[in-house]
Amino acid sequence: MIFLTGQKSSFYFAFRLAWRQLWHDKIRFVTASFGVIFACILVFMQIGFKNALFESATLLQRTMVGDLYLQDEQSEALWRLVPFPRQHLYRALSIEGVDDVTALYASQAAWKNPVTGVNRTALILGIDPTKVNIFPLVGLNDEKEKLQMRDVVLFDSFSRPEFGPVQKLLKDHGEFPVEVSGQRLDVVGTFKMGITFSADGNLIVNDRTFFKIFPMKSAMGVDVGVITLKNGDDVSRVQVQLRHLLPKNINVLTKEEYIADEKAYWNDITPIGYIFNFGVIMGLFVGLVIVYQVLFNDITNHLHEYATLKAMGYDNAYFVKVVLSAASILVFAGFVPGWVLCFGLYSLVEKSIFIEMNLTFEKSVLTFCLLLVMCFISAVLAVRKLKAASPVDVFQ
Amino acid sequence: MIKNDPSYLIRASNLIYDYGTGDLTQSVLKGANLEVCSGEFVILAGPSGSGKSTLLSLIGALRKIQGGELSIVGCDLRDADDIVMRKIRRQVGYVFQQHNLLGFLTALQNVEMTLEMFSDYSERERHDLAVQTLQSVGLRRQMDSYSSQLSVGQKQRVAIARSLVHQPKVILADEPTASLDSKTGLQVVEILHGMVKNTGCGALIVTHDHRIFEYADRILNIEDGVVTS
Ligand SMILES: Nc1ncnc2c1ncn2[C@@H]1O[C@H](COP(=O)(O)OP(=O)(O)OP(=O)(O)O)[C@@H](O)[C@H]1O
Ligand SMILES: [Mg+2]
């Protein structure tokens, strides 16, 4: 910090005065800090929720290990896919550097809770059982042999509890039958993925079983084509070549683009972004009002003293620095405890809604900056009152 | 035109000052003349509403002059901009009727604030000078007290220490004893008087208090907007 070393600038003195002023009245200081803590928590939670929802929306895209992805241009999101002809996927193999291609089929169907008999919508992924490695999901590798069998299904143990006590049933009774879209299948194992926007639960089946569940679909139409490249091969070069090779209606996306695409879809069709941004603004507004109140009262209560200091030769800029310093101190005083509290709240939320919440460095920086802007706006509003402190006031 | 004679700390000639405009105009100063030299302890008296505070505020560069001439420590105040006004304020030690100390600072910190405006003091010098000045007003033991812990007279003495700690060339005081009992009032005047005699600065003191008059080198009267001796 520049003003703590070397020549003491007026900033140092202004900061020290602000600190002394805040520290002198500890109750008020704590109250003001609570205002910032409140705003801090609100902002953190809103950003956290928004982020978590978008993260969960792209869970599958993020876990897949493909380098490039093919999709029909009319495909919107994982649950609204439009298939494209399978031969296009295989044509990709002709391009230098392409290691392997995998056809992925995905759709939604009703899962009947084996205990209550109530239907829930599940996302069903169909894949060639020898290629399941493109999903490096926990537990999946151990179960991939079982996926070779006819009419079997692997169950995501992170699905919502409404899907039934599948894991317990498996442990107690071994394989057991369930009904998926009217088809009788056997649950033979579990893996761990997590819920997404598309569904509250997930199933993985082999491609033959997939077409049994969805008779209208055919192996000729691929929903998502996953391309893996040989080690070190240039993704953007292959992407360009593929775009030349394949018809215009097939999108060739890198992993980042694929994730961004899915995010954009959910951002556009749901008001999630809007709702949470609104929450952030509300939090900041409440904090702004509280901080403004404190700063404004500090100025009003000391108008005579400030006028006296002006009469002694202090300039307006000095008091502006004092108020800005007070604002910065309040940001720190609110942010640090707010951050710690949110750390606890995040894990609490994680446990109760099964959605991953991370208090990342980026979120911390973003929240801190928002609070800083909030406090500075409060300061700028409060400072207007300072002009009223005229040095001639000391005579009145 | 006033000559720039350095022995004159304050020179006002034909000062005019009106409050308000149009029909509501009230002429307060109608050609006031006044001089204070270094080493002089001058008292300005006059009836209430005669313009004493107004004159003092002009000399202290708190207001801009409207007519006439005014020079403080050789600095011409006609057409002075904010920067010049501030420069003059810093050379003037103003003692107000109200102490206006910052309640969240100790006596010592309040006094040090005057020195913080100037970059020529080190932390140590600031501290030592402030302690010295507080000692000279008899408050060394109270230097770490907040103003809520001080009596009215003590507060006023802290305010004086704050106005004098940087050894200003000009001391202006507007009824400095009005809120004090006679004993502390005299104490305060003695401090100001001693400062003038020891450092050779000049003081212009506004007061109604006749017991102070005996300290004065000169007593000026203001009435009907003009100053007479
Ligand atoms: N800000 C102002 N606006 C308008 N009129 C003012 C203002 N300040 C003072 N006056 C008027 O100017 C006149 C001189 O006021 P000033 O305060 O200089 O008198 P004073 O000699 O200091 O009086 P007192 O002894 O009561 O302090 C008074 O009539 C007062 O009403
Ligand atoms: Mg007056």
For chain A, give the secondary structure using H, E and C: CHHHCCCCCHHHHHHHHHHHHHHHCHHHHHHHHHHHHHHHHHHHHHHHHHHHHHHHHCHHHHHCCCCEEEEECCCCCCCCCCCEEHHHHHHHHHCCCEEEEEEEEEEEEEEECCCCCCEEEEEEEEECHHHHHHCCCECHHHHCCHHHCCCEEEEECCCCHHHCCHHHHHHHHCCEEEEECCEEEEEEEEEECCCCCCCCEEEEEEHHHHHHHCCCCCCCEECEEEEEECCCCCHHHHHHHHHHHCCCCEEEEEHHHHHHHHHHHHHHHCCHHHHHHHHHHHHHHHHHHHHHHHHHHHHHHCHHHHHHHHHHCCCHHHHHHHHHHHHHHHHHHHHHHHHHHHHHHHHHHHHHHCCCCCCCHHHHHHHHHHHHHHHHHHHHHHHHHHHHCCHHHHHC
Residue A219 has pLDDT above 60, yes or no: yes
Residue A6 has pLDDT above 60, yes or no: no
C-alpha of residue A187 to centroid of ligand 1, in Å = 95
Contact B103 A24 (CB under 8 A): yes
What pLDDT is attached to residue A354? Answer: 64
For A394, nearest residue in chain B (alpha carbons): B96
Residues of A in contact with B166 (CB under 8 A): none
Average pLDDT of chain A, as a whole number: 87
Is ipTM beyond 0.85?
yes
What pLDDT is attached to residue B98? Answer: 80
What pLDDT is attached to residue A315? Answer: 87
A37 pLDDT band, cuts 50/70/90, is: very high
- Suggest the residue from B117, B118, B172, B179 to mutate for an interface test with chain A (most A CBs closer than 10 A): B117
What pLDDT is attached to residue A125? Answer: 93
**Residues 6-45, chain B, touching A (beta carbon < 8 A):** none
Average the pLDDT over each of A167-171, A178-182, B3-7, B102-106 and give the range with the smallest value.
B3-7
Greater model confidence, A387 or A377? A377
Average pLDDT on A223-242 reads: 88
Contact A13 B103 (CB under 8 A): no
A212 pLDDT band, cuts 50/70/90, is: very high
What pLDDT is attached to residue A246? Answer: 92
CA of residue B197 relative to chain centroid, distance? 16
CA-based nearest distance B208→chain A, Å: 16
Cα–Cα distance, A333 to A321 (Å, whole number): 18
Average pLDDT on A290-296 reads: 89
Any residues with Cβ below 6 Å from ligand 1, and which? B 19-20, 26, 28, 46, 48-54
Nearest ligand 1 atom to the CA of B57 is 18
Closest CB to A311: pick one of B94, B102, B116: B94
For A23, nearest residue in chain B (alpha carbons): B104
Contact B100 A395 (CB under 8 A): no
Query: Which of A320, A227, A305 shows the shortest CA–CA distance to B101?
Result: A305
CB-based contact, A186 to chain B, within 8 Å? no
CB-based contact, A8 to chain B, within 8 Å? yes
Give percent of chain A with pLDDT exceeding 90.
47
C-alpha of residue B224 to centroid of ligand 2, in Å = 15
What pLDDT is attached to residue B4? Answer: 52
For A304, nearest residue in chain B (alpha carbons): B100
Average pLDDT on A216-222 reads: 88
Residue A290 has pLDDT above 70, yes or no: yes
A5 pLDDT band, cuts 50/70/90, is: very low
Cα–Cα distance, A3 to A11 (Å, whole number): 7
A127 pLDDT band, cuts 50/70/90, is: very high
CB-based contact, B118 to chain A, within 8 Å? no
> Per residue in A52-104, pLDDT tens?
888 888 888 888 889 999 999 888 887 788 999 999 999 999 988 899 999 99
Residue A3 has pLDDT above 80, yes or no: no
CB-based contact, B49 to chain A, within 8 Å? no
A185: which strand partners? Answer: A178
Closest CB to B89: pick one of A17, A302, A312: A312
User: Are A164 and A112 in contact, with CB atoms under 8 Å apart?
Assistant: no
A393 pLDDT band, cuts 50/70/90, is: low
Residue A8 has pLDDT above 70, yes or no: no
Average pLDDT on A358-380 reads: 90
Is pTM beyond 0.80? Reply is no
- The protein residue whose alpha carbon is closest to atom 26 in ligand 1 is B48
- The protein residue whose alpha carbon is closest to atom 13 in ligand 1 is B49
Residues of B in contact with A392 (CB under 8 A): 57, 62-63
Tell me how far CA of residue A148 lies from CA of A70, A151, A161, A206, A282, in angstroms.
25, 9, 27, 7, 53
Average the pLDDT over each of A50-54, A132-136, A182-186, A283-287 and give the range with the smallest value.
A50-54
A270 pLDDT band, cuts 50/70/90, is: confident
Contact A391 B89 (CB under 8 A): yes
Nearest ligand 1 atom to the CA of B20 is 4
Contact B117 A314 (CB under 8 A): yes
> Per residue in B187-226, pLDDT tens?
888 889 998 998 889 999 998 888 888 899 999 999 888 8
> Per residue in B8-64, pLDDT tens?
899 999 999 999 888 888 888 988 899 999 999 999 999 988 999 999 999 999 988
Average pLDDT of chain B, as a whole number: 88
What pLDDT is attached to residue A368? Answer: 92
Query: Which of B150, B147, B146, B152 shows the shortest CA–CA distance to B98?
Result: B152
For A303, nearest residue in chain B (alpha carbons): B100
Residues of A in contact with B116 (CB under 8 A): 10, 13
- The protein residue whose alpha carbon is closest to atom 11 in ligand 1 is B49
Contact B86 A305 (CB under 8 A): no
What pLDDT is attached to residue A4? Answer: 42
Residues of A in contact with B168 (CB under 8 A): none
Residue A305 has pLDDT above 70, yes or no: yes
Average pLDDT on A366-391 reads: 86
Closest CB to B96: pick one of A21, A313, A394: A394
Give percent of chain A with pLDDT exceeding 70.
95
Average pLDDT on B119-144 reads: 90
B6 pLDDT band, cuts 50/70/90, is: low
A390 pLDDT band, cuts 50/70/90, is: confident
